[in-house]
Amino acid sequence: MNDTMNSKNEVSKLDEIMNKLSPDERAFVSGLIDKDPLTGLYNRRKFDQDIELVVSMSGRGNKGSGLLFIDIDHFKKFNDEYGHQRGDQVLREITQSIEQNLRDYDKIHIYRYGGEEFVIIVSDVSIKDTFQIGDRLRRAVKESSGLTISIGISHYKEISGDLKSLINNADNALLEAKRKGRDSVVIYGKAP
């Protein structure tokens, strides 16, 4: 409970500071706060804000939203073998490959979730469409980098009815993709 209260206090304080800035200054500071400096993607903090908005908008009559949790397979081993500078280069290459294989309006919902983990929110899609997007990304990353990725998928409407289960289900599907042998796409609750 204290973590939630502290987080809300921090957001309130940040809003207070941001409101004192000009629009240009606000945009500049937001970019620093919300973007991952290595990949240029939005970060986990921005994901936590955006996912609530996307889910609430999904309730307005569209097909729903797909959530893809992506992890680069054996990336720690790659870094140990080739070094972190090469690892950083590969993260940028994979980011580019992912961006090139998404619809323009989905590119604004790609996030670097952690070290070698990415999250993508795709709006107004069915679970079948979400799977096809995931599989296309899996193949594109493998072709462009030689590395493989595992993807876990959940869907707001067809699988999950609330934000917490949407995120947990995608994370659990990612774990299943890894258990399955990696280089795969798994939909939560569907037999691999």
* Span between the terminal Cα atoms of the chain, in Å: 37
Q: 159 and 182 in one domain?
A: yes
Position 151 in a domain:
yes
- Residues annotated catalytic, as ranges: 116
Whether residue 2 is predicted with pLDDT greater than 50 in this model: the reply is: no
Answer whether residue 124 is part of any domain: yes
Whether 24 is in a domain gets the answer yes
pLDDT digits (tens, 9 = 90+) for 130-189: 999 999 999 999 999 999 999 999 999 999 989 999 999 999 999 999 999 999 999 998
State whether 5 and 89 are in the same domain: no
Same domain, 40 and 25: no
The tokens for 105 are 């309006």
44 lies in the same domain as 15:
no
- Please check whether residues 23 and 58 belong to one and the same domain: no
Average pLDDT for 27-38: 82
Please give the residue range of the domain that contains residue 139: 36-187
Given the structure tokens 């590395």, which residue do they identify? 147
Q: Check whether residue 4 and residue 53 sit in a common domain.
A: no
Q: What is the pLDDT of residues 90-100, one digit of tens each?
A: 999 999 999 99
The one-letter amino acid at 115: G
Reported confidence tier of residue 191, pLDDT bands at 50, 70, 90: low
Do 101 and 149 form a contact (C-beta atoms < 8 A)?
A: no
Q: Say if 146 falls within a structural domain.
A: yes
Give the count of domains, the chain.
2
pLDDT reported for residue 61: 63
pLDDT at 83: 96
- Based on the domain organization, do 17 and 47 belong to the same domain? no
Give me the chain's average pLDDT, please: 89
69 touches 170 (CB < 8 A): yes
The CATH number given to whatever domain includes residue 163 is 3.30.70.270
Residue 45 and residue 81 in one domain: yes
Q: Supply the pLDDT for residue 185.
A: 97
Q: Rounded CA gap, 163 and 54, in Å? A: 10
Q: Say which residues have a Cβ less than 8 Å from residue 156's Cβ, sequence separation at least 6.
A: 54, 55, 58, 64, 65, 66, 67, 163, 166
pTM attached to this predicted model: 0.85
Q: Are residues 23 and 76 in the same domain?
A: no
> What size, in residues, is the chain?
192
* Domain shared by 40 and 28, yes or no: no
Tokens standing for 129? 């469409």
**pLDDT tens digit sequence for 75-128:** 999 999 999 999 999 999 999 999 999 988 888 899 999 999 999 999 889 999
Tell me: do 76 and 14 sit in the same domain. no
Same domain, 43 and 3: no
Q: Render pLDDT for 42-82 as a digit per residue (tens, 0 to 9).
A: 999 999 989 988 777 776 667 889 999 999 999 999 999 99
In a domain, 192, yes or no: no
